[in-house]
């Protein structure tokens, strides 16, 4: 009997060790910026809100895990993930080759073109000499401006709101950012004197493969769970309901 107990105990231990890491995940710390409306921001009650937040919560529900949200400055968000301050980056981060050297990404959960805005009554465009363009630091908008418009002077900001404020104050000539973020700005009271200029830019060379969720490369179980959950919320209509809450068009893209 004692031998049987030992054998059974060994089987149980072996089964536990053989179980995939994803099966033991019950709590996920979601990292975000909290300064990029309408995707992620902090409301007047100090609560995180936005498309990214709703998507992240829906994914946690689909994965049957509890969510804990953690905020981080944008320019330090990848180092914070690697330092295990949180487990994911759900912050409208575009999937680029440079970022893929440091972290793994899920499949995209939306597609983000870049556009420019200027003050009404001005005639500046991004391709003229010495134009000053405000961008959020380490963003794909910064990649695009530096790569596609070499005549422009780039002014980088810690967050998008600072760039928008400097545009309205006349300290920069243009701002480049995610088209959906700029649409929110243009439609706001603060952006009433601002207008779009030029087309939407979708160059994969600068903008990457869409917007995904970043995880540490070793967290393969969590990555699979997230990808399965993205498929699930797309299939069951949850994604479409969240999309409709913020936009009157499909942000997922092709």
pLDDT beyond 70 at 57: yes
191-215 pLDDT, tens digit each: 999 999 999 999 999 999 999 999 9
Q: Does residue 159 sit within a domain?
A: yes
pLDDT beyond 80 at 20: no
Could you give the CA distance from residue 139 to residue 75 in angstroms, rounded to a whole number? 9
Cβ-in-10-Å burial (0-12, 13-18, 19+) of 140 comes to buried
Query: Nearest Cα to 72, choosing from 40, 39, 114, 37?
Result: 40
Instruction: Output the pLDDT for position 109.
Output: 98
Query: Nearest Cα to 222, choosing from 23, 4, 19?
Result: 23
Query: Nearest Cα to 92, choosing from 185, 198, 177, 164?
Result: 177
Q: Does residue 32 sit within a domain?
A: yes
Q: Does residue 254 sit within a domain?
A: no
202 lies in the same domain as 214: no
Q: Does residue 188 sit within a domain?
A: yes
Could you give the CA distance from residue 91 to residue 100 in angstroms, rounded to a whole number? 15
Q: Does residue 36 sit within a domain?
A: yes
Give the structural domain span for 240.
22-111+210-246
What percent of the chain clears pLDDT 70, i.e. is strictly above it? Answer: 91
148 lies in the same domain as 178: yes
Q: Does residue 4 sit within a domain?
A: no
Kindly give the residue spans of alpha helices, DSSP state H, lying in 90-219.
97-100, 140-148, 160-168, 179-186, 204-207
Name residue 31's beta-bridge partners: 70, 89
25-56 pLDDT, tens digit each: 999 999 999 999 999 999 999 999 999 999 99
Taking CA 192 as the corner, what is the angle to CA 191 and CA 194, rounded to the nearest 5 degrees?
65
Instruction: Output the pLDDT for position 24.
Output: 79
122 lies in the same domain as 240: no
CB atoms within 10 A of CB 155: 20
195 lies in the same domain as 235: no
Instruction: Output the pLDDT for position 248.
Output: 87
90 lies in the same domain as 197: no
Instruction: Output the pLDDT for position 17.
Output: 42
Please report which confidence band the pLDDT of residue 23 belongs to, taking 50, 70 and 90 as the band edges: low
221 lies in the same domain as 188: no
Total of domains in the chain: 2
Please report which confidence band the pLDDT of residue 22 belongs to, taking 50, 70 and 90 as the band edges: very low
136-155 pLDDT, tens digit each: 999 999 999 999 999 999 99
Please report which confidence band the pLDDT of residue 19 belongs to, taking 50, 70 and 90 as the band edges: very low
Q: Does residue 101 sit within a domain?
A: yes
119 lies in the same domain as 106: no
Instruction: Output the pLDDT for position 253.
Output: 85
pTM of the model: 0.79
171 lies in the same domain as 182: yes
Eight-class DSSP state of 194: E
Q: What is the CATH number of the domain that holds 43?
A: 3.40.190.10
Instruction: Output the pLDDT for position 165.
Output: 97
Average pLDDT for residues 61-66, to the nearest whole number? Answer: 98
The two tokens of residue 35 are 């300064």
Q: Does residue 102 sit within a domain?
A: yes
Average pLDDT, the chain: 91
73 lies in the same domain as 49: yes
237 lies in the same domain as 179: no
Instruction: Output the pLDDT for position 4.
Output: 39
pLDDT beyond 80 at 87: yes
pLDDT beyond 80 at 16: no
231-248 pLDDT, tens digit each: 999 999 999 999 999 998
Half-sphere exposure in the Cβ direction for 75 (13 Å, CA):
10
202 lies in the same domain as 233: no
Three-class HEC string of 147-178? HHCCCCEEEEECCHHHHHHHHHCCCCCEEEEE
Name residue 117's beta-bridge partners: 175, 196
101 lies in the same domain as 161: no
Average pLDDT for residues 126-142, to the nearest whole number? Answer: 96
């Amino acid at each position: 009997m004692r031998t049987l107990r030992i054998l059974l105990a060994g089987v149980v231990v072996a089964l536990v060790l053989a179980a995939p890491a994803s099966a033991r995940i019950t709590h996920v710390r979601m990292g975000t910026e909290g300064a990029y409306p309408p995707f992620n921001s902090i409301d007047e009650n100090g609560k995180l809100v936005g498309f990214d937040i709703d998507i992240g919560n829906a994914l946690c529900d689909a994965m049957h895990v509890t969510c804990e949200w953690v905020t981080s400055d944008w320019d330090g968000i990848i180092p914070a993930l690697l330092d295990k301050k949180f487990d994911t980056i759900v912050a409208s981060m575009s999937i680029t080759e440079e970022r893929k050297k440091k972290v793994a990404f899920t499949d995209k959960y939306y597609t983000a073109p870049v556009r420019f805005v200027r003050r009404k009554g001005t005639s500046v465009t991004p391709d003229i000499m010495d134009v000053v363009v405000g961008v959020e630091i380490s963003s794909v908008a910064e990649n695009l401006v530096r790569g596609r418009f070499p005549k422009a002077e780039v002014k980088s900001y810690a967050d998008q709101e600072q760039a928008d404020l400097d545009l309205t104050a006349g300290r920069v000539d243009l701002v480049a950012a995610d088209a959906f973020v700029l649409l929110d700005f243009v439609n706001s009271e603060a952006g009433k004197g601002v207008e779009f200029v030029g087309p939407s830019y979708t160059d994969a060379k600068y903008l990457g493969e869409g917007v995904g969720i970043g995880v540490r490369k070793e967290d393969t179980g969590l990555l699979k769970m997230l990808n399965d959950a993205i498929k699930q919320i797309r299939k069951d209509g949850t994604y479409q309901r969240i999309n409709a809450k913020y936009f009157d068009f499909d942000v997922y893209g092709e």
